[in-house]
Chain A
Amino acid sequence: MNIELNGRARHDVRTIAEAVAAVTEAERGIAVALNGEVVPRSEWDRPLADGDTVEVLTATQGG
């Protein structure tokens, strides 16, 4: 299964939770967009599908 995670192709993650764990150890201050839509933390066990785009986001400095 091929997905795109934060702009990079991946084929070793099957759920959103695995995608998050693949890029960060942080548990707070994280949000996930699946194909542009927010996925609440309570639904992070959702399986991914081929071609999905996942964005894992966090706070950074900004005005």
Chain B
Amino acid sequence: MDKLQIADRTFGSRLILGTGGAANHAQLADAITASGTELVTVALRRVDPRAEGSIVDVIERCGVDVLPNTAGCFTAEQAVRTARLAREAFETDWVKLEVIGDEDSLLPEPVELLDAAETLVGDGFTVLPYTNDDPILARRLEEAGCAAVMPLAAPIGTGLGIRNPHNLALICEQAGVPVICDAGIGTASDAALAMELGCAAVLLATAVTRAADPALMAGAMRDAVRAGRAARLAGRIPKRRLARASTSFEGIAEL
């Protein structure tokens, strides 16, 4: 498959895996390996003295890179502080920027999101913002200097699939940076559709980590992303209202 380029890095896999929701570290490691991903997200929280083992070690053993997020932030100020802490903890200036509007929908707070993006880009971060499926906001985030835009398929954890394929396609058509479909993916066909619509990559967590068999679903997502990307590059046939025979009628016997 053709490589994915984000900022100054290239990736062989177009699937980014979120680690939230995994039942334990062993299951997570199996899912990471089966997914073929090269980049996984983590959150930053108070240390838990009772925690057994570190997720950082799990990720390192899997040989993949860490993409810290700012999950749980409601304001630009909180998100910027969290990103700076993550940079210190993980020695990376990449951040999945997440600023949400409320706890029920977990939908992005667009005003705070753009504000935080501008600050973090100015601070030297490589910013990958989780955003609404809004082409105008996506454009503003790109203009602010974000290295990618990450519109949602549906609200986080819902598994509802792509609620507005038209908007997602519009974002892909206009964007000069990679578009990564982030959140709301439920199953493999959702991931394939995102890629067919023109997304450069898919970021998902719950669909894998809370599946009955996470590693099996991780493999399904790997294949779906590859198939969707190939189908996009191959160029699908136009849809037709009436049938068009694939077998010629020429030379047909008179029976």
List residues of A whose CB falls within 8 A of some B CB: 6-7, 23-24, 26, 28-33, 36-38, 40-41, 55-63
Q: State A37–B81 Cα separation when bound (angstroms).
A: 7
**CB of B25, distance to nearest CB on chain A (Å):** 9
Partner of B47, one of A33, A36, A41, A56: A56
**Binary CB contact string for chain B from 182 to 226 against chain A (1 if under 8 A, 0 otherwise):** 010000000000000000000101100100000000000000000
- The answer to whether the Cβ of B19 comes within 8 Å of any Cβ in the partner chain is yes
Give which listed residue, A29, A30, A56, A60, contacts B43 with CB less than 8 A: A60
Interface size on B, residues (CB 8 A): 36
B18 to chain A, nearest CB (A): 3
Q: Does B20 contact A61, Cβ atoms closer than 8 Å?
A: yes
B42 contacts A62, C-beta separation under 8 Å: yes
- Give the CA-CA distance A26 to B52 in the complex, in Å: 11
Question: In the complex the two chains form, is A38's CB within 8 Å of B84's CB?
Answer: yes
Q: State whether the Cβ of B54 lies closer than 8 Å to any Cβ in chain A.
A: yes
A24 to B54, CA, bound (A): 11
Taking a contact as CB atoms under 8 Å apart, the answer to whether B55 and A60 are in contact is yes
**A59 lies within 8 A of B85 (CB):** no
